[in-house]
Every structure is written in structure tokens, then in C-alpha cells.
Amino acid sequence: MPSQLSPHVSDIAPGRGALRPARSWLHSDAPSRSLNGSWRFRLSPTASVTEDFAADSFVDDGWDSIPVPSHWVLEGDGAYGRPIYTNIQFPFPIDPPHVPDENPTGDYRRHFDVPADWSDAERVVLRFDGVESLFRVWVNGVEIGSASGSRLAHEFDVTSAVRTGDNVVAVRVHQWSAASYVEDQDQWWLPGIFRDVTLIARPAGGIEDVWLRTGFDHGRGRVEAEITADAAAFPVTLRIPELDVDHVWATPADVAPLDVTGVEPWSAERPRLYDTTVSTATETIALRVGFRTVEIRGDQFLVNGSRVVFHGVNRHETHPERGRVFDEEHAREDLALMKRFNINAIRTSHYPPHPRLLDLADELGFWVVLECDLETHGFEKLDWVGNPSDDPAWREACLDRIRRTVERDKNHPSIVIWSLGNESGTGGNLAAMSSWVHARDTGRPVHYEGDYTGEYTDIYSRMYASVPETEQIGSDGARSALLNCTPAQSARQRTKPFLLCEYAHAMGNGPGAFDQYEALVRRYPRLHGGFVWEWRDHGILATAPDGTPYYAYGGDFGEVVHDGNFVMDGMLLSNDVPTPSLHEYKSVVQPVEFVFDGEKVAVTNLRHSADTSDLRFRWRVEHDGVPVASGDLEIPVVGAGESQWASLPQVAVAPNAETWLTIDATLATPTAWAPEGHVIATAQLDCSTRRPVPAVRPQADWRPGDGTLSLGIAEFTGGSLVRLAGRAVTGPRLELFRAPTDNDESPSDGVEDSDDSIAGVSSADLWRRDGLDRLTTRRVSVEHTADALRTLDKVSAANSALSVMVESVWSIEDGELELRVEIEPSRGWQAVWPRIGVRFELPDGTAPVDGAQWFGLGPLETYPDSLRAGRTGHFSATVHDLSVDYARPQETGHRSELRRLTLTSGSTEVLRIQALPDIRGRRPGFTLSRHTPQQIARAAHPYELGDSTTSHLIVDAAQHGLGSRTCGHDVWPDFALRPESRTIRLRISEG
Ligand code: GAL
């Protein structure tokens, strides 16, 4: 072992020399200087380099420059190592508290100036808001201290080390340390000084810390102040100008609760904040105070007396170029986007975010579960032996983390729950953390999902509980034991409010079943909603060998161990583009419900406390998607939790078109997060008259033929289609495969999955086993009549006796070309199928098909268990925009409930296809893509798909649902596609 190896890296103490107790992150008028900017930087491969760089006199001319804040692995084009992604695995040997000698160590230095007028400061403090994972600090060669707790603030008293004028600060950062064992969150490992560094002059007679605890009860607000200041700093004045509060506490003993009248409460829906100052003669702190009371009453979680339903997301701090470095503008837009999509809550998974994020949450309005920076998930592999959560040696480190968490952010009205951390097993240290919080803050409950039996936390929390299990938790009907609980523990858990701290794993295309969870939340008051996993993909912007930019995931940086694309599981793509799942979520959790009944509609306000006075209701009528009338719907203001009936407008019903009435609830005035007119809720009513579907014309006089003929716009050679309207087209070809989604690729857990699933085996494995991705065809027969062509094909895969018979009948009906495909599987197919469809190929030709217009569900892709964002209408999109750029290419683009489709080339209509419903009234869906499912399945990143001008049109009689099996549960049986006979009927004409 190198003799100088830093002794600090294996030290489980949270550091030495940082100021305690931790305090709030405050907006003070005390002088401060940002030390963000360019620092001198040197990276060493081990922690054993000498510390001479810390000396005042050291010359760092040969060093590079690096921006602070940043992660060194994201700087210097790979010169400083690469990011590593793991979920649960430790990317180093599990040898706690030790880490390998190969421990990238970044040395940072910079000069800074201390102004002469700081000489009367009582203290000079150096604050680090985030450094991963362990750092030591020197000022002018004097060692100041060390700290770990990457996503937590650490302050050091540097008064005796600084001098007026030029100074040097040196910081040594180790990528790995004992702290890495308790920072095993599912995300990239990104070392460096990644949050602000600030030098602060603390004035004599200033306010060290302030906590304004607020309460609200029927128009009355309460402020309970805790002022941390020397007695000599008094008097302290509290001012809330809007409420005429101007209160002076002459001495510490005078500080007492203050009741204030005429107060509007704070809620996530109406985030009313009051600008407030707390001042002494030498310092003024500015706060934005929100009045609210959080309480648990029985099994209900209430704010200001009303039940809260969390329509939340788990939010990591991640940016494709900056990693966890905070960008306020980007964060504000992130939160505004959440609001636009009806998201009302954030769990700060799995650590405190940049402190400014909470100012934004207060201002824009979110219920926040603020989580401590703690995760020891990798110990699960050892059956939790040695888990820091239960080892007294780690107690102080755990307590230090929760104290820093709560103290830093305690003033925020948006924070309604403290969370001890994530996936850290259970143990005495977590219990100790919880009791510390209970003692420190009686105004907010404590959450920790890993406390399965409810020993030391206040909320029953689970991740990825299935729909039936969630129902069992919500209802009192089934009294069976809860997961990991004895009957007695289950009974205790049932006395508490329940929330899903994670559910609906949004990896790739999916999840399905948002609506099933939401229905339960509506039914059972104990269920308080949950937090989707997760808000955004964590892709890192990289460049492919051919120069194409792409979003990298685990393994793309040559990591020794990694977890692939499990880090791409957000409702937002890495480039901020909302995926269809976010639209689905928005629709499922929309805060206004419409129930149609005859000429009337019942409008229910599902909000926590806000009425509907901020909304305007618009209606429109469309005939086959073409708008024909619109107007405002007069709906009296609806209070939270109440309903009102309103009369529907007169709808002109078209005799030969579908008639749809759509109602939108829109914002009547602009907000901080959306413009006027932004739609927050929608409902549609089908007012169409029933129109008969043309019957299939029986044809009896079939006779064998060579299949080379023309039928209307179709030309055939040897029974196979070669042209449509003069354009090369091939098909139909049976397509049973879809490029497996991440959920399709995830092994079954054998519990609650489809009846034919096999534990440990994915649906995609079964599809490949059965050869769905490599079907071959044998033409059994070709027959004609005077105006029709019939082919019979037997479709099967190598080394399989299973088959599907496909009968295709082309005929002229009512002067138009009709294709009817009858698909009939043989007996013996065991697994679910991804799709039952037919594929057509439209090679590029002179004018490639590059877009579609359709009347059906849109505008985005929909699947059987994710249909709620789809509305019936007329839409158009380019081929490119019909697909979603999932980080790992997979099934995308399916539009359900198709009536009519026009394929376009530029502004030219190439082919028109009318989809007739089958005899059960079921309509097909379509996908138009540049690539076949087989091609898509082979690509690991979008850039690997390459360019193509061929279009592949798949018309699906049915698709399998999406499910959430990547973390959670398979497609619900009602939405699983079993091998079955289906019919597809299309009428095709020239554009
Ligand atoms: C959970 C964990 C999250 C994330 C998720 C899967 O167990 O808390 O951090 O890993 O699974 O994406």
C-alpha cells in the first residue's frame, strides 16, 4: 500500500471541521462572493499523490483549467475519465469502508480576493453546496477540514486562514470514499465540485439561522420563529408587509408564536407566498413564507385539513451535458413542464436537490417529499450483512446526513414530508434518523419505504406494488398480511396513509396501467397516489463514431460493470421531449372529470383545495375530425371535491361522418407555468349515428390461377402485390413481431404475470423462441374470380411446427379496391403475441412516402393499456415524427382505432386507406416507420438505425399492451394479446 495513501477515503466519519449544526440555505444581505468559475485542476489516478499542491506557494502553472461547478468526467473530452452508470451494483469491490487504490482524485486550486471591508466580519465562512464524494480543503496552505455527503451543504470557518487581498483555496476531491457505500443511488457516478462554492462574510450581530414554521387554520396563519443569533444581535424584526406584520422581538426570550389574520393558505395548487424579512441591525434575511399545516389524521395525509393526492414524479438532477450541475433556467422549465402536465408533486429522489429548486417548488406549487442523500442498495447482494444503516459505526454518518438535509431546507412550505433515504435496507441508524427528525420537526411526517413494517416511520410506503396489491392495501376487505409484515404489523400499517413512493416504471415505451392505479386512488381514501419512476432519462450527450450525437447510457463509456439503459426510464427523453407516457399521465390525473349524461355533463373538481375559477371550459364539434362548431361552456365555479351539472351545446350530427363533441378545461389567464388557453383536462363524447359496415361479399367461383393480373389500382405478379396506383408496393406480409420494448425484454417474476409467462423469462425471449421475428411463408394457393384474387399462405418459423394461415382476398367492392386478410393461428401457440398485423413495404421510388394523415386516435402513439391521452380526431405527422426516439430503439408509433389513413409524399396524397371494423366492431391500428421491427430490434441506439427512405406500413388488427415489467408488473391480462384469429379489412384508393 502506498505510504501516503489518503487516510481519509476509508473514514466513515462524515468529515472533520465542518460547521455544526448545519443551517438553512438563506437569502441574506450579508456580503458573499461566489467562487464558481475557472479553477486550476489536476487529476491523478490514485489518492496517493502528495498534498504539496495545497501549499500557499505551490505553482500550478502546468495544471489544466476546469469550471466549477462541474463533474470532471464530463469535462475535457474524456481526458479526465468517463462517467459510470450502475443501478444497485458498486463499481468497486465491496470491501467497506475501503475503496480501491485506483481512486481518481481531483486537485482544485484557485485564487480569490477578500475585500478590505470584510475585516469587520465576525467570521468568514466557506460553503460547498455539493462535492462528490469526499473532499478536503486548504486555505492559504492551512488545512481547514474535510467532508462527505455529496448532495449536502458543508460550511467551514476560514476566518483565521484568510487575509485581506489575495488568497488561495485548494480542494482535493476523491471520487471514491467510504461515503460511496451510502451513496449507491441508481444514477451515474459523477465526481467533482458540482455545486456552488461561496465565501460568506458573517456580520457581527447577524442571524446564524432562522426557521419560520408556519401553520394555517381557517384564514388564520401562525408563525413560530426559531432565531439562532447571539443575544447581542437582538432586537430581531419580522416583517410581512402584505399582512401588516412588523413585529419586534427585543430579546431571545421574547420570541413567541405569532398569529396572523387574513392569510391565504399555501398549496401546490395556489402557492401563495408572502415576502418576509427577518432582520437585525446588521443582517436581513429574505424568505418567502407559505402558510400551511401538514398533519396525519388516522389514515389520511392532510394539508390544511384536506386530503392530498400525490400525482408525483421522482426527480433526479440530471442533464445531458452538465450531469447534476444545477441550471436554474433549465430547472424552472422542468418544473413548469411538470405543471403543464398536471404533476403536483416531486420526490427528490434520492437526495436533496440544489437548494434553489425548492424555492422554485414553493413558487410554482408542488408537494415535495424531500429525501436525504442515503442509499446502501449494494448491500442487498450480501443479504444486507454489514449494511451501514444498521451498523453503529455508521450512526454518526447517517445522522449527519439527515441533519444536513432537514436543516438546509426546513423553511420551505412545499416540503410536506421528510424521507430518510432510499433502498438502504432497514436498521437502527434509520430509526435514529427518524427520531431525530421527529424531535426536530413536529410539523412534517417521516417517510422511508424500507421500513416495511412501520417501526419508525409515519406513512406506509411501497414501490411498484401491483394493482391488486394496491387495492388490497387500500381496502379493508382483504385483511391478508402485507408484504414482509406479520398480521399485526399489517394492521399497524393499515392505520397509516399509503403512498407509492415509486410506481409505473417509465422505461422506454410504457408504462401501461396508470389509469388502473388512479381508479384505486379515487376509490380508497387511504391511498394517496404516488410518484412515477421517473421524470426524465439520464442520457449523457455523446458522439457516435460516425459523428452523430446521441444520448449515452450504461456501457457506452466502457464501464467494467454497468446496468445498461436502466438509467433511461423517464417520462421525458434526455433532450427534454415529453414521451407519450407523460401525455398519458397528464390525461389520467387531470384534475377535472367530465361525465356525460344525455344532454348534460357533470363536471367534478378533483383538486385538493382550489376551485375552478381559474378555468374556462371550451367545446367543439368535429365531423370526421373536421371542426364544425365551437364555443364556451358555461359552468358555475366548482369547489374542490364538488360537482356541477352543465347543459351541453346543441350538436349538429352528421349523417355520413362521425360526430364528436370535445370539451377542454383551459386556463382562463396565464400562469407562471403556462399561457392562457393551456388545456388541463379533456373529454370526448361520440355523438355519431350508427352507420352499417359493408358486409363481405360472398364469392364462390374461385379457380386456380397464376396470380398475374390487375385489379383496379393494384397489380399482382404470381399472386403477390407489386404496385398500387403505379407505385411499387409489396405486402401484405404477416407481422407478429414488434421490436421488444424494455418491458417486453424484462423477465417475468412469475407472480401476477400473464398466465403463460415463465418465471425468469421475458416475453421477448418467448417471441424469439417461437420465431416471431423470423417468419417464413409458403404459398399454398392462388385463385381468382372475375374481379378478385385470393392467396393462401402458411406462415411459420424455422424448426417450429406452429403456423398461421393467412388468407388474403383482393377484390373490387363498390368500385374500390378491398383487401381482406384472415389470420388464423394453428393450435399450440403458448405465449402472448406482440401484435397481429400485416406489413406493406413502400420502397423509396421517386417521391418517397414521408408522412401520414389519419382519422382515428391521436395525435400520439397509443397501446391497449395506454389509451387515455388519445383522442379521436384528424391528425397528420411526418414519418419521422410518428416514432419516438427512445434511447434504445424499440416498438413505437402505433396509432389505435384507425378509420382512414392517407400516405403522403410532401404535399401529395399517395394512397388512401380506409380501415373497416371487424364483425365485433374492433378497428385496427397502424404504424408507419422507416424501419422494420426486426431492424429496430437490432439497434442499441437510434444512430445505429441508419437512414432509409423506404416506408414500412403495418396495419395491426391488435397489439399487446405495454405493462411495466422493467420494474413492476406485466401487461394486465385484459390487455395481453393471445394468439387468435383476426380479420383486417382495408379499402385502398389512389390519393
Ligand atoms: C427502485 C429505486 C430507483 C430505481 C428504480 C428502477 O428500486 O429506488 O432508484 O432504481 O428502482 O429504475
The residue type of 64 is D
Element spanning 339, H or E: helix 328-340
The grid coordinates listed for 859 are 395525435
Q: How far is CA 138 from CA 119, 199, 361, 433, 584, in A?
A: 20, 14, 35, 31, 52
List the strands of the sheet with 236-240, edge to edge. 27-28, 284-289, 274-279, 236-240, 245-249
Domain CATH number, residue 10 = 2.60.120.260
Same domain, 717 and 829: yes
Answer yes or no: is 806 within a domain. yes
Measured from the CA of 567, which atom of ligand 1 is nearest? 12
Q: 482 CA distance to ligand 1 centroid (A)?
A: 21
Q: How far is CA 316 from CA 122, 129, 349, 536, 820, in A?
A: 38, 16, 5, 8, 50
Domain CATH number, residue 223 = 2.60.40.10
Q: 87 CA distance to ligand 1 centroid (A)?
A: 8
Same domain, 221 and 265: yes
For the residues 580-597, what does the mean pLDDT come to?
98
137 pLDDT exceeds 60? Answer: yes
SS3 861: coil
Is the CB–ligand 1 distance for residue 87 below 6 Å?
A: yes
Q: Report the distance separating Cα 876 and Cα 354, nearest Å.
A: 41
State CA 823 to chain mean position distance.
39
Q: 638 CA distance to ligand 1 centroid (A)?
A: 39
426 pLDDT exceeds 90? Answer: yes
5 pLDDT exceeds 60? Answer: no
Is the CB–ligand 1 distance for residue 463 below 6 Å?
A: yes
Is the CB–ligand 1 distance for residue 720 below 6 Å?
A: no
Return the residue matching grid coordinates 398519458: 584
Query: Atom 11 in ligand 1: which residue has the minimum CA distance?
Result: 967
End-to-end CA distance of the chain: 77
pLDDT digit string, tens, across residues 535-584: 999 999 999 999 999 999 999 999 999 999 999 999 999 999 999 999 99
Q: What DSSP string runs through 86-147?
A: ESSS-SS--BTTB--SEEEEEEEEEEEEE-GGGGG-SEEEEEES-EESEEEEEETTEEEEEE
Element spanning 756, H or E: none
Q: 187 CA distance to ligand 1 centroid (A)?
A: 9
Do 879 and 852 form a contact (C-beta atoms < 8 A)?
A: yes
Q: For the stretch 680-704, what's the b/e string if a residue is b when 16 or more beta carbons lie within 10 angstroms of its beta carbon? A: bbbbbbebbeeeeeeebeeeeeeee
Answer yes or no: is 697 within a domain. no
- Looking at residue 810, its pLDDT comes to 98
Answer yes or no: is 859 within a domain. yes
Do 183 and 99 form a contact (C-beta atoms < 8 A)?
A: no
Is the CB–ligand 1 distance for residue 569 below 6 Å?
A: yes
Q: Report the distance separating Cα 947 and Cα 346, nearest Å.
A: 39
Same domain, 466 and 400: yes
Answer yes or no: is 694 within a domain. no
Number of domains the chain contains: 5
Same domain, 716 and 670: no
Is the CB–ligand 1 distance for residue 422 below 6 Å?
A: yes
Same domain, 666 and 542: no
The question of whether 371 is a catalytic residue gets the answer: no
Q: Report the distance separating Cα 475 and Cα 519, nearest Å.
A: 13
Q: Percent of the chain, pLDDT > 70?
A: 99
Query: Atom 9 in ligand 1: which residue has the minimum CA distance?
Result: 186
Choose the final residue of a domain: 566, 585, 604: 585
Answer yes or no: is 788 within a domain. yes
Query: Atom 7 in ligand 1: which residue has the minimum CA distance?
Result: 423
pLDDT digit string, tens, across residues 297-327: 999 999 999 999 999 999 999 999 999 999 9
Measured from the CA of 566, which atom of ligand 1 is nearest? 12
Measured from the CA of 534, which atom of ligand 1 is nearest? 12
- Looking at residue 358, its pLDDT comes to 98
8 pLDDT exceeds 90? Answer: no
Query: Atom 3 in ligand 1: which residue has the minimum CA distance?
Result: 186
Of the candidates 423, 469, 622, 897, the residue annotated as catalytic is: 423
Element spanning 885, H or E: none
The grid coordinates listed for 416 are 410536506
Query: Atom 10 in ligand 1: which residue has the minimum CA distance?
Result: 186
Answer yes or no: is 561 within a domain. yes
Measured from the CA of 423, which atom of ligand 1 is nearest? 8
Measured from the CA of 569, which atom of ligand 1 is nearest? 12
Q: Report the distance separating Cα 210 and Cα 274, nearest Å.
A: 16
- Looking at residue 753, its pLDDT comes to 56
The question of whether 423 is a catalytic residue gets the answer: yes
Is the CB–ligand 1 distance for residue 502 below 6 Å?
A: yes
pLDDT classification of 479: cutoffs 50, 70, 90: low
Do 490 and 949 form a contact (C-beta atoms < 8 A)?
A: no
Of the candidates 317, 375, 449, 502, the residue annotated as catalytic is: 502
- HSE value, Cβ hemisphere, 13 Å, CA-based, for 17: 17
State CA 278 to chain mean position distance.
38
Domain enclosing residue 537, as ranges: 302-585
pLDDT digit string, tens, across residues 243-271: 999 999 999 999 999 999 999 999 999 99
pLDDT classification of 2: cutoffs 50, 70, 90: very low
Is the CB–ligand 1 distance for residue 423 below 6 Å?
A: yes
- Looking at residue 631, its pLDDT comes to 98
pLDDT digit string, tens, across residues 498-546: 999 999 999 999 999 999 999 999 999 999 999 999 999 999 999 999 9
- Looking at residue 754, its pLDDT comes to 59
Choose the final residue of a domain: 629, 657, 686: 686
Q: 755 CA distance to ligand 1 centroid (A)?
A: 26
Do 724 and 712 form a contact (C-beta atoms < 8 A)?
A: no
Same domain, 194 and 277: no
pLDDT digit string, tens, across residues 754-804: 556 788 899 999 999 999 999 999 999 999 999 999 999 999 999 999 999
Q: 186 CA distance to ligand 1 centroid (A)?
A: 6
Same domain, 196 and 317: no
For the residues 417-438, what does the mean pLDDT come to?
98
Q: What DSSP string runs through 224-245?
A: EEEEE--GGG--EEEEEGGGTE
Same domain, 665 and 718: no
Do 33 and 199 form a contact (C-beta atoms < 8 A)?
A: yes
pLDDT digit string, tens, across residues 37-71: 999 999 999 999 999 999 999 999 999 999 999 99
Mean pLDDT of the chain: 96
975 pLDDT exceeds 60? Answer: yes
Same domain, 288 and 309: no
Q: For the stretch 385-402, what's the b/e string if a residue is b when 16 or more beta carbons lie within 10 angstroms of its beta carbon? A: ebbbbbbeebbebbbbbb
Choose the final residue of a domain: 585, 618, 652: 585
For the residues 830-853, what does the mean pLDDT come to?
92
624 pLDDT exceeds 70? Answer: yes
- Looking at residue 477, its pLDDT comes to 62
Answer yes or no: is 137 within a domain. yes
The grid coordinates listed for 244 are 401588516
Q: How far is CA 187 from CA 89, 461, 883, 981, in A?
A: 11, 22, 27, 45
Element spanning 694, H or E: none
Q: What DSSP string runs through 386-398?
A: T-GGG-GGGHHHH
Q: Report the distance separating Cα 957 and Cα 968, nearest Å.
A: 27
Same domain, 355 and 407: yes
Answer yes or no: is 695 within a domain. no
Do 838 and 809 form a contact (C-beta atoms < 8 A)?
A: no
Same domain, 900 and 963: yes
Measured from the CA of 185, which atom of ligand 1 is nearest? 9
- Looking at residue 1, its pLDDT comes to 38
478 pLDDT exceeds 80? Answer: no
The residue type of 961 is G
Is the peptide bond preceding residue 97 cis, with omega within 30 degrees of 0?
Answer: yes
Do 361 and 392 form a contact (C-beta atoms < 8 A)?
A: no
Same domain, 923 and 793: yes
Domain CATH number, residue 380 = 3.20.20.80
158 pLDDT exceeds 90? Answer: yes
Domain CATH number, residue 838 = 2.70.98.10
